[in-house]
A and B are shown apart, each in its own frame.
Chain A
C-alpha cells in the first residue's frame, strides 16, 4: 500500500517570497503524483501532476514540482507567492497499474501568505 506524508501542517510566508511545500511518499511500485489546491469551503482543484518523463512539472498559477525518485519526494514550489495563493495544498499518489486504484492523499499543508 502507498502512503503520503506532508510534514508541514501550516506554512506562513510573506507575499512575494518563495515557498516550498514538502511531500514524501512510500510505495513498492511506481506511482502517479499529484498536487491539489483547496480554497476555503471549496472542492479540490488539480495544480499539477507527474506521470512520466521530465521530473520537473509545471502547473497552474506559477507552481511547479520536482519528482525525486531516490528521495521519494514531490515537493511543490513557487518562486514568488501572492495573497491569492492562501489555501490548503494536498499531495496525492496513485499506483500505476491496471484496473481500479484509489488516490491516497496527504494530510494537507495550509499556506498562509502574509501581506
Chain B
C-alpha cells in the first residue's frame, strides 16, 4: 500500500533562518506531488506541484521554493523565513486516481 511521510511534525524557526521540509511517498512510482499551506483562519492554498523529477510549478509567488530530487521526494525550502510563512504545510500525492492523499502536516511557527 502507498504511504506518505512528512517531517518534521512541528517546527519553530526564527525570522531570517532557512527552511527545509521533506515529504516522501512509498508504494507508488511517478506520482504527482503537491505542497499546500493552510494559514490560520484560511483554507488550503496550493503552493507547488510536480509531475516529475526536476519539474516544479509554482502557483503563487512567494518566499518559498520546492525541489524534487527523486521520484518520490518533494522538498519545500526557504533561504530566509518571514513571519508570514507561519502556517500548517501539507504534502500530498496523486497518481492516476481521482483523489489526493495527504501527509500529516508540519506546523511551522516563525518567531
List residues of chain A with CB under 8 Å of any chain B CB.
6, 32, 34, 36, 41-46, 49, 51, 90, 94, 100, 102-108
B62 in contact (CB, < 8 A): no
Which residue of B has the minimal Cβ distance to A36? B102
B104 in contact (CB, < 8 A): yes
From the candidates A46, A102, A107, A108, name the one contacting B99 in the complex (CB within 8 A): A46
Which residue of A has the minimal Cβ distance to B50? A100
B64 in contact (CB, < 8 A): no
Interface of A, helix, strand, loop or mixed by DSSP? strand
Complex alpha-carbon distance, A94 and B99, angstroms: 9
CB neighbours of B105 from chain A (8 A): 41-43
- Could you tell me if A32 and B104 are in contact, using CB atoms closer than 8 angstroms? no
From the candidates A49, A105, A106, name the one contacting B98 in the complex (CB within 8 A): A49
* Given A100-B49, A105-B36, 17 new contacts (CB under 8 A): A34-B99, A41-B9, A42-B104, A43-B6, A43-B90, A43-B92, A43-B105, A44-B102, A45-B102, A46-B99, A46-B101, A49-B98, A100-B51, A102-B49, A102-B59, A106-B43, A107-B43
B77 in contact (CB, < 8 A): no
Q: Which residues 41-67 in B have Cβ within 8 Å of A in the complex?
A: 42-44, 46, 49, 51, 59
Q: How large is the interface on B (under 10, 10 to 19, 20 to 34, 35 or more residues)?
A: 20 to 34
List residues of chain B with CB under 8 Å of any chain A CB.
6, 9, 32, 34, 36, 42-44, 46, 49, 51, 59, 88, 90, 92, 94, 98-105, 107
Complex alpha-carbon distance, A105 and B99, angstroms: 12
Give A24 Cβ to nearest chain B Cβ, in Å.
14
Which residue of A has the minimal Cβ distance to B105? A43
- Could you tell me if B98 and A32 are in contact, using CB atoms closer than 8 angstroms? yes
- Could you tell me if A107 and B42 are in contact, using CB atoms closer than 8 angstroms? yes
- Could you tell me if B102 and A108 are in contact, using CB atoms closer than 8 angstroms? no
